[in-house]
């Protein structure tokens, strides 16, 4: 039988403690742990949720890894084509962990209406294009289908549609320079709006218009088997660096690879700061909770000084007595964690389902509501970390028990 645990359970179940001076202090300590864990859960869930959402939106427009011609082109448009007929397309077999590969091409142009005009990048896609993310972005009309004959349907953003006063079914003219040479008569294309999307990412919404890749091939004068680049989607985003290097090493020397982290390094450096903010909040909350538990533990020791003296007189070792109070403290921390988990997870579930809380300036965060993400392993690890760190903080103040004299403790009133 674990004597220390038995004594701690008797102390926890004692009705006398409910009217002692330590009762309100213990309640404050429990509330501090609960509130601290709630703040940690909210900070972690919102920080990770926002990071994942921004990452998903950037990936939706670019894929995780791009394969393109090895040259010095740093623009957003295709310049030198590559052959669609590659050993890794359409079934990617160079490495595992690849979810999808698609062929695309881009060309800069201008949309012109009777009242205004906007510069765009026309992104040509084919039947292999993954529209999964854009099904969530779609706000009007439908996604275009490029599996049949060459048509005029395009997908535009709500931002461009508002600027150009376009609706689903509207037709418009667009101009594209030939071989990027302003002196030549530009290519003219007439398109019809099939659908309107809104990703909330103004940098992309104000730029891209999705069209049939065959339009881009014809304007460039390419063969049907030539494309601008490949976009690769991975199963695990965290393996993007490793997979990019592996793919680069297994493709032809005339091909190069680039990750979206390298392409949009400023965005990913910014969202990388979320991890530091989350760690800072968690550290502060653990420190606050630990200090409150130290106060509660010292008050418990003060109230139980006669008991400590009796246990020492009976031959109990200092570490054994310290364990009694540490067990008691672990129980109080557990109560706080239970309340914190209940309140925190309920709040996060409500936000995930109803999206009550929104950003006052969504254009700065690329999303109008505050996203949340949390998984069970993270929750368990956070709770275990809080429990262990708080108990470690209590080891030093529990050392005061070793300084208590049995004779004086028994006489203590």
DSSP-assigned states of every residue in 263-319: HTHHHHHHHHHHHHHHHHHHHHHHHHHHHHHHHHHHHHHHHTHHHHHHHHHTT--HH
Within 175-264, residue ranges assigned H as helices are 202-205, 213-220, 240-250, 260-263
Q: Is 322 helix (H, G, I), strand (E, B) or coil?
A: helix
Q: How many residues does the chain have?
A: 413
Quickly count: other Cβ atoms within 10 Å of residue 212's Cβ. Answer: 25
Which residues does 401 contact at the CB level (< 8 Å), separation at least 6? 301, 308, 318, 321, 322, 325
The pLDDT score that the predictor gives to residue 363 is 80
Backbone angles phi, psi at 20, to 5 degrees: -85, 175
Which residues does 109 contact at the CB level (< 8 Å), separation at least 6? 119, 120, 121, 122, 174, 175, 176, 177, 189
d(C-alpha 303, C-alpha 362), whole Å: 53
Local mean pLDDT, 10-residue blocks, the chain (413 residues): 84 65 84 96 96 94 94 82 94 94 96 91 97 95 94 96 96 85 80 96 94 95 95 96 95 94 94 92 94 91 87 89 93 96 97 92 87 95 96 91 78 60
The pairing of strands 117-125 and 98-112 is antiparallel
Q: Which of 391, 399, 396, 400 is nearest to 332 (CA)?
A: 391
Contact 174, 191 (CB under 8 A): yes
d(C-alpha 271, C-alpha 142), whole Å: 32
The reported pTM is 0.88
Q: Which of 66, 65, 60, 100 is nearest to 208 (CA)?
A: 60
Residue 28 in tokens: 């404050």
The pLDDT score that the predictor gives to residue 181 is 62
Beta bridge partners of 195: 141, 155
Contact 166, 160 (CB under 8 A): yes
The pairing of strands 65-69 and 117-125 is unpaired
Contact 15, 334 (CB under 8 A): no
Contact 228, 216 (CB under 8 A): yes
Radius of gyration in angstroms for the set of CA atoms belonging to the chain, rounded to a whole number: 31
Beta bridge partners of 124: 105, 211
Helix axes 3-13, 318-354, angle to 10 degrees: 60
Q: Which of 53, 47, 57, 82 is nearest to 67 (CA)?
A: 82
d(C-alpha 200, C-alpha 207), whole Å: 12
Backbone angles phi, psi at 125, to 5 degrees: -130, 165
């Amino acid at each position: 039988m674990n004597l220390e645990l038995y004594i701690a359970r008797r102390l926890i179940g004692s009705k006398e403690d409910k009217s002692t001076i330590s009762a309100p202090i213990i309640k404050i300590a429990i509330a501090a742990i609960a509130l601290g864990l709630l703040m940690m859960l909210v900070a972690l869930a919102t920080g990770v949720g926002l990071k994942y959402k921004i990452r998903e939106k950037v990936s939706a427009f670019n894929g995780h890894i791009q394969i393109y011609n090895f040259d010095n082109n740093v623009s957003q448009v295709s310049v030198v084509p590559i052959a669609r007929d590659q050993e890794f397309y359409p079934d990617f077999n160079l490495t595992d962990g690849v979810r999808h590969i698609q062929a695309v091409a881009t060309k800069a142009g201008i949309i012109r209406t009777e009242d205004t005009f906007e510069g765009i990048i026309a992104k040509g896609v084919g039947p292999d294009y993954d529209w999964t993310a854009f099904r969530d972005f779609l706000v009007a009309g439908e996604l275009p289908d490029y599996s049949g004959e060459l048509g005029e349907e395009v997908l535009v953003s709500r931002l461009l549609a508002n600027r150009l006063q376009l609706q689903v079914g509207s037709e418009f003219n667009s101009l594209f320079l030939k071989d990027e040479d302003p002196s030549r008569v530009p290519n003219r294309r007439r398109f019809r709006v099939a659908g309107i999307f809104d990703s909330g990412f103004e940098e992309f919404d104000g730029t891209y218009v999705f069209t049939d890749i065959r339009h881009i091939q014809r304007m460039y004068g390419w063969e049907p088997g030539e494309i601008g680049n490949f976009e690769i989607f991975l199963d695990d985003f965290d393996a993007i660096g490793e997979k990019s290097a592996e793919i680069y090493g297994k493709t032809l020397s005339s091909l190069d690879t680039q990750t979206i982290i390298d392409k949009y390094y400023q965005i990913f450096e910014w969202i990388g700061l979320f991890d530091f903010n989350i760690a800072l909040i968690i550290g502060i909350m653990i420190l606050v909770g630990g200090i409150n538990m130290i106060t509660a533990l010292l008050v418990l020791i003060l109230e139980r000084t006669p008991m400590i003296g009796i246990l020492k007189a009976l031959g109990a070792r200092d570490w054994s007595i310290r364990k009694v109070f540490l067990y008691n403290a672990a129980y109080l921390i557990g109560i706080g964690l239970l309340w914190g988990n209940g309140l925190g997870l309920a709040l996060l579930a409500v936000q995930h389902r109803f999206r009550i809380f929104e950003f006052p300036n969504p254009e700065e965060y690329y999303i109008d509501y505050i996203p949340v993400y949390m998984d069970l392993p993270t929750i368990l690890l956070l709770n275990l970390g809080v429990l262990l760190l708080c108990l470690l903080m209590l080891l030093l103040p529990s050392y005061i028990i070793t300084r208590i004299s049995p004779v004086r403790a028994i006489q203590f009133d």
